[in-house]
Structure formats: C-alpha cells, structure tokens
Amino acid sequence: MSSIQAARIEPGRTDAAIVQAPSEWKALCKRADLVANSGVVAWLEGRQVALFYLPATEDGEQVFAIENRDPKSGANVIGRGLVGQVQGDLVVASPLYKQHFRLEDGSCVEYPEQSLQVWPARITGDVVEVGLV
C-alpha cells in the first residue's frame, strides 16, 4: 500500500495548513487507470482532480491529487501538465502559462498568490483513493 498525506491550500490562500486525517477515503479509479510520471483527471464531488502517479521517487511510489483548474487561465488543464522538480520540490507545470505548482501543497513557485487545492491520496491494493476532510 502506498500513501501520502498532503497539505491543503484553499484558493486565494498562501499559507499551507496540514490536513488532518481524512474523515473518509473515496475511491476514484483503479491503479491501471494511472499513467506513470503523468496526470489523469477524475471527478470528485463536482470538481475535476488531477491525479499524478510517480512510481519511483526518493520516497518510493507516490500519488498526488491536485485541483485541475489553472487559476491564471481558468481552464481545466493541470492534469495535462509536465511533472518535474523545481528547487527540490516535485511540481507540475501548467500547460498554458507554464507556472509551477508544488504537488505536495498546491502552492505556486513563481506566483505565491496562486495556489491549487490538494487532497491526501493513496493507492490501496488496486484502488486509488482520495481523502475527504
């Protein structure tokens, strides 16, 4: 089983608050639906969530759940962004304006006033789950 606890940033906030233990875990897709080192998009309670699966990081296998809506353009494109590292942090680059969002907490490297919501995510057996708080 693989799991990650992430920080959650509400849109418009620049300070990360560590997420408490999720009140429930919601199954979003199967492990086979994920693409290694890339994003896929799923629907979570009326919102698009980009899931990024990184099978071989320094911390082992990880999955991240981050808001799919780019705050600068308003387009749902984050799941199509490129995954990489900036200043030692795992990030996704927005495909439109190329700003980088940290996968762990959703904060933007270049524009601190921009952020994306994140959710705790884990892989349990063959199921990808996102934590609801």
Q: How many CA atoms lie within 13 A of 46 on its CB side?
A: 0
Total domains present in the chain = 1
- CATH label of the domain that carries residue 51: 2.102.10.10
Instruction: Tell me if 53 sits within 8 A of 66, measured CB to CB.
Output: no
- Specify the pLDDT at position 20: 62
pTM of structure: 0.83
Please indicate, yes or no, if residue 24 is contained in any of the structural domains. no
The whole-number pLDDT of residue 5 equals 39
The domain of 56 spans 2-10+32-132
Residue 57 lies in a domain: yes
Domain for residue 16, yes or no? no
Averages of pLDDT over runs of 10 residues in the chain (133 residues) are 39 44 93 97 96 92 97 97 96 97 97 97 97 90
